[in-house]
Structure formats: structure tokens, C-alpha cells
């Protein structure tokens, strides 16, 4: 039998070196087995060739039966796995027929599509959504990256600043080579490089009263990552007037906060919570007080999460609540927010 096994190994090795497919090499081994078995049956006992190839047909029949059992087991296992894969694919939610997702998009967003709370319908909502991000700095940088990665179809970004070396400690959407470029164009390039399936609209200017209303009208949802109260109050007023949800975030040294404001759904607005801007010096900027580099990433990513939830109607967005994250002590807490009837923006007694 040793001689036969040597021949079988030689056939397999030589076939592999010659580039023969596995099926062809397996066929050659099967042919060798049939020849050996024929030798054992046709030649008389004591024949030299029969002795060299095992000397007994019974041994080869047992060996052949064992190999047949192994192959049958492997084929059965393959069929079970294939059937289970088909059942899993059939049970998984898929993009709606009218969604026209490309194969590349389906593969890219597969982890979203299999989420029960999102599915194909939720991913289509993301693709059809238009989100405006105010600021391409600390909070805007991670929010923009994750909105783009999530497949939000149209992303607007407004900022009048340029990339500086001091930004790169926390504003991860920009690179060293981008220093001196307008932030909106640096952000646009980064998002396009990450996901070519989304459209980015850059607005290199400051958000002002003159442009805010027309700009907001083109979008479904507003993310405010600005760093000054004037812009926050303006964004809040216009969002409330147009009935648009506003996701607002803020940072200070080791602490960040965020909330979703949508008075049209009964929540307070930003000015309900912060009726007046603090006196100069009471709320120093990041440049004056410093800020932990990864902190904007945490809070900005949370803002993107809230945006996905609002767009797809998944879970419970932070409506009427403020989430506060203390990075220094690793603590997170939520506080309830109440609407003020005398709020000049959304209150019942506003003029």
C-alpha cells in the first residue's frame, strides 16, 4: 500500500506544480484507486504486482468506504451552511426596490442595513437627507466625517475660517497639508475621499442674518458646532422659525454637552436653556481655556449619532434632554430640559 500512497502523493504534487485544478487532481486519484482495486480483484494471490499494491481487495474497499464517508460528510456540511446562508440573507432587511442602491453602496452600508432599527428603509432616508453643519472645527470635524461615512446624501458645511496648525490637535478632518486652506474645502475633500457616494456643499462664509433663512430652507436638519453664542442664537431662531430640528453641541476644557432642540415636537429651544449669553470672561473660548484633543471627537460623534436617529426615526433622540460628558472623571449624565413660556423665540408669550 505504501507504493500506492507514494504514487498518489506524486500525482497530487506534480499536478499542483503544473497548475492543474483540484477537481482534476482528485479525478486522477480516483482513477488510480480504481486501477489498484482492479489489480486486487483480477490478479491471483501471490502475484508480485498485487502484493506491491496491498495484496488484498478488502483493505482497499475499507479505505474507499472511509474516504467516501468523509467526502459525504463534507458535502452535507457544505449544503447545510449554504442553506443557512440563504435563510440569513432572506431574513436580513434589504434596501427597498425603489432605492436603487449600487452594489458598492449595499456593501458599504451593510452594517447599517442589518440593524433592525435602520434597515434598508433607514439607509434610504439617510441617503435622501440633507444636513447642514455649522462649523468645520472641533465639533464639526468628527460630525462631518461620520455623517459622510453613514451615507447622508447631501451635507452642507458653512465656515469662514482657514486651517491653522493649532487646529490639528483636535480637528481630525483636516491634515497638515491643509494648513492655509479654507476649512470647508479641506472638509469637502476629506469626506469625498472617504465616501464618494455623498454630495458636500461648502459655504466659505460666516453664518449671518442675511443668508441664514435661505440656507436653512435647503436642509432637513441643522447641526450647530459653532464656538460663539451669537451664531448659536441665530441658528436657533432660524431653525425654530422653519420648524427644523437643531442638534447643538458645546465644549469646555474636559467637558462637553449636546442636545436636540425641536420646539415643533414640544421640546424647548436653545434660548429656553440659555436665555442670555454669559458675560465676557465667564465662558472662555477653547483658545483661552484649552480643550482636550479627543473630547470634540466624542461629542461630535454623539452629534452624528443623534442626527442618524432623528433622520431615521430610530430610538430616542435627546429631545428635551441634555447629555453632559465629563472626560476628566469619565462620567456621563443627562438632565431634563423644560420649555419657557416667556422665551422670545419659542415661548407662548413671544411677540
Cell, residue 7: 504514487
Higher pLDDT, 33 or 206: 206
CA distance 137 to 270: 20
Q: Are residues 172 and 209 in contact, defined by beta-carbon separation less than 8 angstroms?
A: no
SS3 call for 200:
strand
Angular region, 245: left φ>0, alpha ψ -120 to 50, beta rest: beta
- pLDDT for 87 beyond 60: no
Comparing CA positions, the residue from 213, 231, 208, 218 lying closest to residue 137 is: 231
pLDDT of the residue at 91: 46
pLDDT of the residue at 62: 78
Handedness of CA 229, 234, 235, 241 (dihedral sign): positive
SS3 call for 20:
coil
- pLDDT for 88 beyond 50: no
Higher pLDDT, 86 or 190: 190
278-328: per-residue pLDDT in tens? 777 666 666 667 899 999 999 999 999 999 999 999 999 999 999 999 999
pTM score: 0.71
CA-angle at 201, arms to 196 and 204, nearest 5°? 130
* 346 Cα distance to chain centroid: 35
330-343: per-residue pLDDT in tens? 999 999 999 998 99
Average per-residue pLDDT for the chain: 86
List the domain boundaries for the chain.
2-91, 93-121, 129-336
CA distance 145 to 161: 18
- pLDDT for 122 beyond 90: yes
163-209: per-residue pLDDT in tens? 999 999 999 999 999 999 999 999 999 999 999 999 999 999 999 99
Q: Which CATH number does 129-336 carry?
A: 3.40.50.720
- pLDDT for 156 beyond 90: yes
pLDDT of the residue at 73: 78
pLDDT of the residue at 345: 93
Q: Are residues 173 and 296 in contact, defined by beta-carbon separation less than 8 angstroms?
A: no
94-106: per-residue pLDDT in tens? 444 445 789 999 9
pLDDT of the residue at 21: 67
Amino acid at each position: 500500500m505504501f507504493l500506492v500512497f507514494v504514487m498518489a502523493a506524486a500525482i497530487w504534487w506534480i499536478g499542483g506544480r503544473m497548475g492543474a485544478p483540484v477537481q482534476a487532481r482528485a479525478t486522477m486519484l480516483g482513477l488510480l484507486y480504481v486501477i489498484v482495486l482492479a489489480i486486487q480483484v483480477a490478479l491471483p494471490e501471490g502475484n508480485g504486482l498485487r502484493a506491491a499494491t496491498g495484496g488484498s481487495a478488502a483493505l482497499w474497499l475499507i479505505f474507499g468506504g472511509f474516504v467516501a464517508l468523509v467526502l459525504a460528510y463534507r458535502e452535507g456540511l457544505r449544503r447545510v451552511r449554504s442553506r443557512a446562508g440563504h435563510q440569513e440573507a432572506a431574513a436580513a432587511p434589504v434596501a427597498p426596490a425603489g432605492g436603487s442602491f449600487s452594489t458598492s453602496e449595499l456593501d458599504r452600508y451593510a452594517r447599517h442595513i442589518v440593524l433592525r432599527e435602520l434597515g434598508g428603509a433607514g439607509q434610504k432616508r439617510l441617503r435622501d437627507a440633507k444636513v447642514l453643519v455649522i462649523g468645520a472645527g472641533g465639533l464639526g470635524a468628527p460630525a462631518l466625517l461620520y455623517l459622510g461615512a453613514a451615507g447622508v446624501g447631501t451635507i452642507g458645511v458653512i465656515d469662514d475660517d482657514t486651517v491653522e496648525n493649532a487646529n490639528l490637535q483636535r480637528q481630525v478632518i483636516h491634515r497638515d497639508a491643509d494648513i492655509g486652506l479654507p476649512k470647508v474645502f479641506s472638509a469637502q475633500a476629506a469626506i469625498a475621499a472617504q465616501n464618494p457616494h455623498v454630495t458636500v456643499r461648502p459655504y466659505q462664509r460666516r453664518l449671518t442674518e442675511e443668508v441664514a433663512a435661505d440656507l436653512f430652507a435647503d436642509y432637513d436638519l441643522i447641526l450647530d458646532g459653532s464656538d460663539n453664542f451669537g451664531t448659536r442664537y441665530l441658528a436657533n431662531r432660524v431653525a425654530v422659525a422653519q420648524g427644523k430640528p437643531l442638534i447643538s453641541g458645546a465644549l469646555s476644557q474636559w467637558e462637553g454637552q449636546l442636545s436636540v432642540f425641536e420646539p415643533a415636537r414640544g421640546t424647548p429651544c436653545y434660548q429656553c436653556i440659555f436665555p442670555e449669553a454669559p458675560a465676557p470672561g465667564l465662558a472662555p473660548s477653547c483658545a483661552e481655556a484649552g480643550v482636550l484633543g479627543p473630547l470634540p471627537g466624542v461629542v461630535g460623534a454623539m452629534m452624528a449619532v443623534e442626527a442618524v436617529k432623528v433622520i431615521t426615526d430610530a430610538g430616542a433622540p435627546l429631545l428635551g434632554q441634555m447629555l453632559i460628558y465629563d472626560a476628566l472623571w469619565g462620567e456621563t449624565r443627562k438632565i431634563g430640559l423644560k420649555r419657557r413660556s416667556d422665551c422670545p423665540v419659542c415661548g407662548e408669550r413671544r411677540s
